[in-house]
Amino acid sequence: MAGRIDAGRWARIAAVLALAATAGHAASLAGVPLAWVLGPMIVTAAASIAGSPVWASKRGRQYGQLLVGSSIGLNVTAAALGLIVQWLPAMVATAAAAMLISAVISVPFARASRIDQTTAFFSLTPGGLSEMANVGQAEGADPEPIALSQAIRVALLVCLMPPLILTFGIDGGIPTPDAGGRLEPLELAMLLGTSLAAISVLKLLRANNAWMIGALLGGGLLAGLEFVDGRMPFPLFAAGQFLIGIAIGARFKRENLTKLPRVCVMVIVFICILTGLLFAYALLLSTVTGIDLSSATLSSSPGGLAEMSLTAQVLHLNVALVTAFHVVRSFFVNAFTLPAFRLFRRIGLFRGVGALCDRFARP
């Protein structure tokens, strides 16, 4: 009996995976940006919310990050590395701005969602999907709204950023490097081996997001030193996106959505507000630094590292620069969110913003 149940469960999981792959292929044929992330993500999320079992493998997401990160890393050249060093202060400032703006709007978000301030702060701060829930829980926050909010943030930005940038007509005009054609099997093995070695080093150092950042470093190292010349075979690149897409979709569980409906609605509203405020910051960043508006917009967006790096590649933006901005933000947010939260609380930031909210709420 148990064997039949297991067989039926795996049959339904396989059916969802087949539908997800079909959706990715159809979206790709239709020319949808990030087709192999969006199609599988939407199908998997819908199946999970409907109560169907889905494949939610942490290892699968990690392998997806290995493939995607290695592919994106191939965009790094010696000239791109020079640009990254040049804009490092702007990257740090952007990470700080993201944390500060998130802290400010977390106050009205807490009130609108009817959750405590600590939970609201870690729900909105654009950090790692699991890291924010773990750090927040250690500080006394409720991890469930945080995990749900972070999943909604990543999924929402994947859906919004590509069409928004295309609608505004801000295309970076930088073609994806493909002069060398597809990587030869030996080059591909060297690429994945170097990426895995970099991942192993970062895991030993207990670095956050080791799989994505390690893969980026592996690909960037080989491309920057001109040891490889070309691009990853598209089937592997699409497979990496597929694994990331289904991993995001699997995070949407029916029980969480039904238990926290108000948080679901409010986090969508406030993520849109956060995105708008960071777009205003991107306008300032572009004006002050001379970085093109398209790259500045994506560099400042509160989306996830893997997803925004992919978006940069699909929309022909400065992939190395956008990726570097998100790597720096990922490091700073995951490393310094807790000290920043305690600092904001100590200096009375949340209390001050709350007083302003009370003043504006009075008739």
**CATH code of the domain in which 305 resides:** 1.20.1530
Q: Which pLDDT belongs to residue 4?
A: 55
Q: Which pLDDT belongs to residue 152?
A: 92
Q: Which pLDDT belongs to residue 18?
A: 95
Q: Which pLDDT belongs to residue 131?
A: 79
Q: Supply the range of the domain harboring residue 135.
A: 2-361
**Cβ–Cβ < 8 Å for 61, 48:** no
Phi, psi (degrees; rounded to nearest 5) at 241: -65, -40
User: How far apart are the C-alpha atoms of 259 and 144, rounded to whole Å?
Assistant: 10
User: Tens of pLDDT along 239-262?
Assistant: 999 999 999 899 888 888 888 899
User: How far apart are the C-alpha atoms of 91 and 324, rounded to whole Å?
Assistant: 8
Other Cβ atoms less than 10 A from the Cβ of 184: the count is 13
Residues of the chain under the 50 pLDDT cut: 1-2, 175, 178-179
Number of domains in the chain: 1
Q: Which pLDDT belongs to residue 236?
A: 94
User: Tens of pLDDT along 67-90?
Assistant: 999 998 887 766 667 777 888 999
Read off the amino acid at residue 297. Answer: T
Predicted TM-score (pTM) of the model is 0.85
User: How far apart are the C-alpha atoms of 126 and 153, rounded to whole Å?
Assistant: 8
Q: Which pLDDT belongs to residue 179?
A: 46
Report residue 168 as tokens: 């505004």
Report residue 136 as tokens: 């927040």
Residue whose entry in the numeric block shows the structure tokens 């933006």: 317
**Cβ–Cβ < 8 Å for 350, 344:** yes
Residue whose entry in the numeric block shows the structure tokens 């004006």: 287
Q: Which pLDDT belongs to residue 1?
A: 46
User: Tens of pLDDT along 196-234?
Assistant: 999 999 999 887 778 988 998 899 889 888 888 888 999
**Cβ–Cβ < 8 Å for 62, 267:** no
